[in-house]
Structure 1
Amino acid sequence: MGFDSADPDLWRSVFERATDLVMVSDFVSGRIMFLNSAGIRLVGLHDDADARARTTAEFLTDAGLAQTPEVEAALTCDGHWEGISELRHFGTGAPIPVSISTFTVRDGEAGPAVIAIIARDRRHRRTHDRRFRKALDEAAHRAREQHALAELGQLAVDADLDTLLPAATGAAASLIGVQCASISRITDTDALEVLAYRGHPPQPRSFATGSASQPGYALATGEVVVCPNRQQETRFATTTMAGRGLRSGISVPIGDGTRWGVLTVHSAHPRDYTDRDVAFLRAVAAVLSAAIGRIDTETRVRQQSSRDPLTGLPNRTAAYRRITAALHTAHQDHTLLALLLVDLDDFKVVNDSLGHAHGDAALIRLAERLVGAVRPADTVARLGGDEFVLVCEDIGTADAATALADRITTALRTPDHSARTPVPLRASIGIALSDQTCTADELIRRADLAMYRAKSAGAGGHALYHPGDRDSYDADRVLRMSTDLRTALDRDQLTLLYQPIVDLRNGAVVAVEALVRWAHPTLGNISRTEFVAVAERTGLIGPLGSWGLRTACRQGVAWPTHPGTDVRVHVNVSTVQLRDPIFADQVADILADTGLPAHRLGLEISETASASVTARTVGILTALHELGVVLLLDHLGTGHGPLGYLIRYPIFDSLKIDRSYITALPGPRPEAVVTAFVTIARAYGATVIGNGVETRIQLDTLHACGCDLAQGSYLAEPAPADAIPAQQRDHRAGTDAPKPAPPPAH
């Protein structure tokens, strides 16, 4: 059906539905020809017939009639007129202010035939406009609030407090519309120190605690405190507000559970703050709480990961950073840096005869004696095992460094009678002094050579490095081992042992770590640490890694599989392999050749490799991840496998806590560290493996901390490939599952 624009019924329907008055009258007589329903209601007529009985003049008040000459002249000359006028209500006689648009409709050349009038009621326009404007303002304000919260939320993800806090005070001051906003936090001086401020001067440095100030009262009560007018305030002192010319304000505590600080806004005028004002400040405080929690966790984990869990001293990574910085200062200032390498003598005897608990106590006592012997500015760190290092800047002379070694030796000779078994300690100390050409690695090497010379002279002594010290034996051994290692690879003289990794929920073996072993024909069993280091120094680490990967995949695919319990094979990866652009392709080829499914291969990023994971190597890791291979960060907590890589490149499936933390279990500090690692891993969807479990109590404590998997001699010693199916059956029966335990309260 077509649309007929000339159909009068169509236009009548349109006019009838209009909300404004629409009227048509005869041009000559003024008789009403049409008035729509809205117009009938506006002027108080009964119906259309009532309207048709009237003329346009009857619709106007005296003020409206006074405009008639002006209107008629405009219609005659221009054919239209717009303006403000008054209609009258036929029932009450009350004037009705309206805005009018009127125009003539001509009938051919005969002149105007009718007048059309459109009138809009203005009686409630101001109220309507005010409501509309208020609604628009509120919507715009809500949009600004949401935008501000979104920006703060983004900052909360990755910004530090120095960036976040000023942004929060700025948002609070501008959106609440007050003179100033501040964020304060409790200090050791029993005052709320102002950390961020936005607004009119003067800026306060601190607020009093408790009822002595509004922020202090909010922190003490843990409640939002609204003060409409300080002159009526009785809950807390308003002296500080009065001194700064402020009359009202809101204080909101920051922190979930533990109160961290207070967000406060103040106005120079008395004010009734709305629920929306309070809700917005609560939202800002919630964002700050989340960000502070994130920053505190990252700081705590970062600090813990740079500390030795047993002694509390800086660990190897922190020590190397300190040595590098101290050496740079020595070069710049032309001062002398002394490095003392301390190695506890006969430590294995203490462990074997008295037990690991006494061994740990001896290490703690050694750490305490070392700290007590050095100057306050010196650094004492534990490199690992029974090896410690002292970094002494601006030592002055070689004699001063030797005197320090004498003090340490004397202090160690004195038994600790407070211990259950007072064992005197002896340590060999190697001393190296810096020069203008010495690097950090060279300085450590010199101290190491001096320490071994001290050991060769007898336990409990010290030696100062001099240029005549050579490590010819080590060089000869490295040269021989590199040659023999190449032969061993060519003749398949290396072997792999596998140590199970157990699910702490049910005791099932879910993975095994492949550990390479080398029984040298004349030198005997060589430690993996030694020959891997040789391989890295001589360019054999690539072939060694490829051999280990292919062998592990070939042996792993031969093990029997069970639905949902396929054992994964973990293989360590070196820096050289990660830097090889075709490494991911090599892995894919090995999987295809051996038939091992990708999800059953785990690649453990080793201690040296994880320190080299950068944007240049993340592409290789991403390709491996997309291949379906499981990626693991090894040695977590030593500083070599930092959590930053997990955050920057969230493609790691699992984290492996270093055995030094497991050895320290149980205890409040190591348990807190392990729990923190688990919490961070959970945030990024990664599982956690505790490495080095040697006792039942370590296993139970690890389980209580929320760890997923465990590995260590208590669960199973490394075994040949053909022994894995039997271990898998035994553990599948749940023989080594830890007893369920609740998470530790701390």
Structure 2
Amino acid sequence: MGFWFFKIKKYTRDLQKSESRYRDLFENASDLIQSVAPDGTILYANRAWRETLGYSEEETSKLSVMDIIHPDCLDHCMATFESLLSVEKTARMEANFQTKDGRTITVEGSVNFSFENGRPVSSRGIFRDITARRATEEALKRSYEFSKTVIDSMNDAVSIIDVSDYRLVGVNRVFLEELGMKAEEVIGKTCYEITHDRDTPCALPDHFCPLMDTAAKAQYASVEHIHRGAGGRTKYVEVSTSPIVDETGRVLQVVHVSRDITDRKRAENEIQQLAYYDTLTGLPNRTLLHDHLNLTLAQADRSKEVVAILFLDLDRFKDINDTLGHPFGDKLLKSVAGRLRDAVRKSDTVARLAGDEFVMVLSGVKDAEGLPGFAQNLLQELALPHKLEGREVYSTGSIGIAFYPMDGKNVDHLLKNADTAMYVAKERGRNTYQFFSEEMNIRAMERLKLETDLRGAMKRDELFLHYQPQMELSTGKVIGMEALVRWRHPERGFVSSGTFVPLAEEAGLIVPLGEWILRTACAQAKAWQEQGFPPLRLAVNISGLQFKQPNFVDLVEEVIMETGLDAGFLELELTESIIMENAAESIEVLTDLKVRGIHLSIDDFGTGYYSLSYLKNFPFDRIKIAQSFVRDITTSSDDAAIVEAIIVMGKSLDLKVIAEGVETREQLEFLFARDCNEMQGFYFSKPLAREDFTRLLQEGLAREGVCPFRVS
């Protein structure tokens, strides 16, 4: 009896230890564990369960499972429990529980029943809180749906490509529409099967093109392609590629966003054409000539060859323009350009610098002695009649020739020497050619002396400004003035601006000279305002070298701030040739000036052979009709038609139009009748010194609008 007693006692202790061990395991488990009686009473809940739902151990003992199950999933849970009442098995389930403070949590886990004598005595549930995970999944789902909606609503074509085999795994609506294909025709194909032939270097599936290679390295990439679209139509697209990586950083797929840039490329090509080619003749312009000539000189230097530069200027071209009109002159220039092109090899360069100036670059010259014969034949060809509009027009040319490396080592030096030789040819009777020689430097030395004097002119106060009034035709009021520089030389007397301004350009003095003019004019305009005179618009001419300075906008802003002149009273005048040398950069600089409130004007409009329809892309306020057109508007039907057209087109683009060089009553009446906005010229007033302009203001002309030349 004693043996069995101790045996039973030991078994009981072992059982208690086992139950205690299991209870400790349950109590300290991270999962939510509960035991529920068949009537729903909670028999036991571990610490994780109690802490998650917010109940104490005492409160838990008074709870029913109905108290913690969310009403929305009560039926689902009860159905699960009932399905287990008659079978000994475990069921997976997901449910929503309510915490003590009213929050809803989502749990997943397993539930089974314990049976005694075939009857259920309790159910055990082991759950894990998956609330955060479910929230993340829902957020991802919403994000995916949002992303899909956004991608499908994009105007760009989007495709997703597997990096392992280049095959498309997803595309959006625009992608399919642009290809004219259905999703099933695209998905699963390599991206190169729908790419234009020009992209075939990347066509092999095992050969990464630079774009895919960059994306495969988990980097953003962008490149331009030509794609074949519906009906074989080709277009330019800009493809931006972004990688899709897994948690280890390995690239799985790449997303291509293809934007149709055909219109942009067309515009870029047009701008390129305008920036590097003469719009009238199609020949390279000055910028492209410099590029070609630099390359030619570098090649000649390596091969020790001679390069010939021919600078050609048509003789008395201005007379043709004045008598037959600028449109006729344009036709002549195009005819001359064609003859020059036909006279050289394809490897040579023919460029138009400006007006009637052309440059020919002959590379690989083996025998310089053959150049006289070439030049003479060229002159004879140019002298042949040009058949234009049913009439024969005769024109000759003067040619200056310089050789590399004998006459210069760089582009500017060679062009300058060839230009010098051309002027000598002009002086010797025209319709001839002239080689550059050192003797020509005698005149250059004279110019150098004048240049030296000009360098000190500003320091010695020899330079000063005149101001020419600008009149509003409809009211007769003086509404502006143009600042014009003058030079009183101590020995030579007054030096024409037509002499020293081009010299300043060549000598590199135009930038400091232009800054002095701008600063002096703005200060004077502000001084007049402070004296109580009505504020007038101040027009200042800007040279090409000034405009190209990288700090030009900053300089203008600095001058305005230092002088105190309101930017709205300053107008900068630029010629067509200046802004067209680099159209894209010019637009950027002009826009920068425009946003500062500065007015912008096209000076000498019509002499640069550029299209007004193109100039609408520039933020100009005013067009100034060139004096060469105004001079003969009452005697030349061609000039009259040109002026009328400029006024009409200017107004259609909401631009003010001002005519310069008005010298007669007839010219004034012509402009008034055509509704020209403004004018300036000797008929109204010559350029006035500061004191004289002050007297004009004092007499009340600008203030009262009293003008003896007003047309009514």
TM over 0.5: yes
5+ residue gaps in structure 2? 1-37, 45-60, 96-106, 115-120, 172-186, 208-226, 240-253, 630-641, 662-677
3-state DSSP of counterpart to 1:62: coil
Q: Whole-Å Cα distance in 1 between the matches of residues 300 and 432 of structure 2?
A: 27
**Residues 465 and 456 from structure 1, CA distance in 2 versus in 1: closer, same or farther, beyond 3 angstroms?**
same
Shift of 1:58: 7.5
Q: Whole-Å Cα distance in 2 between the matches of residues 171 and 565 of structure 1?
A: 69
Counterpart check, 1:297 vs 2:267: yes
Which aligned pairs between 1:450-599 and structure 2 lie closer than 5 A?
450-466=421-437, 468-480=438-450, 482-483=452-453, 486-487=456-457, 490-491=460-461, 494-498=464-468, 513-518=482-487, 522=492, 525-528=495-498, 530-531=500-501, 533-534=503-504, 537=507, 542=512, 545-555=515-525, 558=528, 567-570=537-540, 572=542, 595-599=564-568
Aligned to 1:720: 687
Shift of 1:488: 7.3
Aligned to 2:189: 179
Q: Whole-Å Cα distance in 1 between the matches of residues 265 and 531 of structure 2?
A: 44
Counterpart check, 1:338 vs 2:308: yes
**Residues 132 and 543 from structure 1, CA distance in 2 versus in 1: closer, same or farther, beyond 3 angstroms?**
closer
**Residues 426 and 59 from structure 1, CA distance in 2 versus in 1: closer, same or farther, beyond 3 angstroms?**
closer
RMSD: 6.0
3-state DSSP of counterpart to 2:439: coil
3-state DSSP of counterpart to 1:406: helix
Counterpart check, 1:61 vs 2:65: no
**Residues 659 and 570 from structure 1, CA distance in 2 versus in 1: closer, same or farther, beyond 3 angstroms?**
closer
Shift of 1:720: 3.2
Which aligned pairs between 1:132-211 and structure 2 lie closer than 5 A?
136=140, 139-140=143-144, 143=147, 173=168, 175-176=170-171, 178-182=188-192, 193-195=197-199, 201=205
Instruction: Say if 1:634 and 1:658, in contact at 8 Å, map to a contact too.
Output: no
Q: Whole-Å Cα distance in 2 between the matches of residues 181 and 507 of structure 1?
A: 69
Q: Whole-Å Cα distance in 2 between the matches of residues 41 and 484 of structure 1?
A: 95
Instruction: Say if 2:534 and 2:703, in contact at 8 Å, map to a contact too.
Output: no
TM-score (norm 2): 0.59
3-state DSSP of counterpart to 1:324: helix
Counterpart check, 1:441 vs 2:412: yes
Aligned to 2:643: 696
Q: Whole-Å Cα distance in 2 between the matches of residues 546 and 659 of structure 1?
A: 20
Instruction: Say if 1:511 and 1:570, in contact at 8 Å, map to a contact too.
Output: no
Q: Which amino acid aligns with 2:282?
A: G
Shift of 1:383: 1.4
Instruction: Say if 2:572 and 2:601, in contact at 8 Å, map to a contact too.
Output: no
Q: Whole-Å Cα distance in 1 between the matches of residues 190 and 522 of structure 2?
A: 66
Q: Which amino acid aligns with 2:231?
A: L
Shift of 1:697: 3.2
Instruction: Say if 2:300 and 2:364, in contact at 8 Å, map to a contact too.
Output: yes
Say which of 206, 213, 219 aligns to 2:231.
Answer: 219
Instruction: Say if 1:141 and 1:175, in contact at 8 Å, map to a contact too.
Output: no
Instruction: Say if 1:165 and 1:195, in contact at 8 Å, map to a contact too.
Output: no
Which aligned pairs between 1:255-334 and structure 2 lie closer than 5 A?
284=257, 287-288=259-260, 291-334=261-304
| CA deviations over 1:268-298 (Å, ceiling 9, x no partner) | xxxxxxxxxxxx99x955x22xx33223212
| CA deviations over 1:240-280 (Å, ceiling 9, x no partner) | xxxxxxxxxxxxx787xxxx6999xxxxxxxxxxxxxxxx9
Q: Which amino acid aligns with 1:173?
A: L
3-state DSSP of counterpart to 1:311: coil
Which aligned pairs between 1:416-435 and structure 2 lie closer than 5 A?
416-435=386-405
Q: Whole-Å Cα distance in 2 between the matches of residues 464 and 449 of structure 1?
A: 9
Counterpart check, 1:347 vs 2:317: yes
TM-score (norm 1): 0.56
Q: Whole-Å Cα distance in 2 between the matches of residues 24 and 536 of structure 1?
A: 104
Counterpart check, 1:36 vs 2:66: yes
Say which of 606, 611, 635 aligns to 1:662.
Answer: 606
Shift of 1:507: 12
Q: Whole-Å Cα distance in 1 between the matches of residues 161 and 373 of structure 2?
A: 51
Instruction: Say if 2:113 and 2:122, in contact at 8 Å, map to a contact too.
Output: yes
Say which of 348, 372, 396 aligns to 2:342.
Answer: 372
Instruction: Say if 1:545 and 1:573, in contact at 8 Å, map to a contact too.
Output: no
Instruction: Say if 1:636 and 1:658, in contact at 8 Å, map to a contact too.
Output: no
Instruction: Say if 2:580 and 2:586, in contact at 8 Å, map to a contact too.
Output: no
**Residues 700 and 312 from structure 1, CA distance in 2 versus in 1: closer, same or farther, beyond 3 angstroms?**
farther
Q: Which amino acid aligns with 1:36?
A: M
3-state DSSP of counterpart to 1:360: helix
Q: Which amino acid aligns with 1:439?
A: N
Instruction: Say if 1:500 and 1:716, in contact at 8 Å, map to a contact too.
Output: yes
| CA deviations over 1:363-390 (Å, ceiling 9, x no partner) | 2332222222222222211111221111
Q: Whole-Å Cα distance in 1 between the matches of residues 273 and 569 of structure 2?
A: 35
3-state DSSP of counterpart to 1:636: helix
Q: Whole-Å Cα distance in 2 between the matches of residues 217 and 544 of structure 1?
A: 54
3-state DSSP of counterpart to 2:592: coil
**Residues 706 and 118 from structure 1, CA distance in 2 versus in 1: closer, same or farther, beyond 3 angstroms?**
farther
Q: Which amino acid aligns with 1:350?
A: I
Instruction: Say if 1:557 and 1:595, in contact at 8 Å, map to a contact too.
Output: no
**Greater shift after overlay, 130-139 or 564-573?**
130-139
Q: Which amino acid aligns with 2:644?
A: I
**Residues 577 and 323 from structure 1, CA distance in 2 versus in 1: closer, same or farther, beyond 3 angstroms?**
closer
Aligned to 2:616: 678
Q: Which amino acid aligns with 2:580?
A: G
Instruction: Say if 2:483 and 2:539, in contact at 8 Å, map to a contact too.
Output: yes
**Residues 63 and 412 from structure 1, CA distance in 2 versus in 1: closer, same or farther, beyond 3 angstroms?**
same
Instruction: Say if 1:675 and 1:705, in contact at 8 Å, map to a contact too.
Output: no
Which aligned pairs between 1:395-410 and structure 2 lie closer than 5 A?
395-410=365-380
Shift of 1:451: 1.7
Aligned to 1:643: 584
3-state DSSP of counterpart to 1:460: coil
3-state DSSP of counterpart to 1:470: helix
Instruction: Say if 1:379 and 1:390, in contact at 8 Å, map to a contact too.
Output: yes
Q: Which amino acid aligns with 2:484?
A: L
What percent identity do the matched residue pairs reach? 19
| CA deviations over 1:505-559 (Å, ceiling 9, x no partner) | x999986553323466747552346335338738686366325522343136526
| CA deviations over 1:161-212 (Å, ceiling 9, x no partner) | xxx99999x9993543533235979xxxxxx645479776599xxxxxxxxx
Q: Whole-Å Cα distance in 2 between the matches of residues 570 and 711 of structure 1?
A: 15
**Residues 493 and 688 from structure 1, CA distance in 2 versus in 1: closer, same or farther, beyond 3 angstroms?**
closer
3-state DSSP of counterpart to 1:370: helix
Q: Whole-Å Cα distance in 2 between the matches of residues 651 and 573 of structure 1?
A: 17
Bigger radius of gyration: 2
Instruction: Say if 2:425 and 2:434, in contact at 8 Å, map to a contact too.
Output: yes
Shift of 1:443: 1.4
Q: Whole-Å Cα distance in 2 between the matches of residues 199 and 140 of structure 1?
A: 32
Shift of 1:447: 1.2
Q: Whole-Å Cα distance in 2 between the matches of residues 408 and 534 of structure 1?
A: 33
**Residues 448 and 300 from structure 1, CA distance in 2 versus in 1: closer, same or farther, beyond 3 angstroms?**
same
**Residues 179 and 100 from structure 1, CA distance in 2 versus in 1: closer, same or farther, beyond 3 angstroms?**
same
Instruction: Say if 1:307 and 1:313, in contact at 8 Å, map to a contact too.
Output: yes
Instruction: Say if 1:482 and 1:538, in contact at 8 Å, map to a contact too.
Output: no
Shift of 1:300: 1.0
| CA deviations over 1:658-694 (Å, ceiling 9, x no partner) | 66873366xxxx43xx434433x4xxxx446545454
Q: Whole-Å Cα distance in 2 between the matches of residues 704 and 581 of structure 1?
A: 33
Aligned to 1:10: none
Aligned to 1:24: 41
3-state DSSP of counterpart to 1:391: strand
Say which of 569, 586, 594 aligns to 1:600.
Answer: 569
* Count, aligned residues: 538
3-state DSSP of counterpart to 1:490: coil
Counterpart check, 1:652 vs 2:676: no
Q: Whole-Å Cα distance in 2 between the matches of residues 166 and 400 of structure 1?
A: 63
Shift of 1:307: 2.2
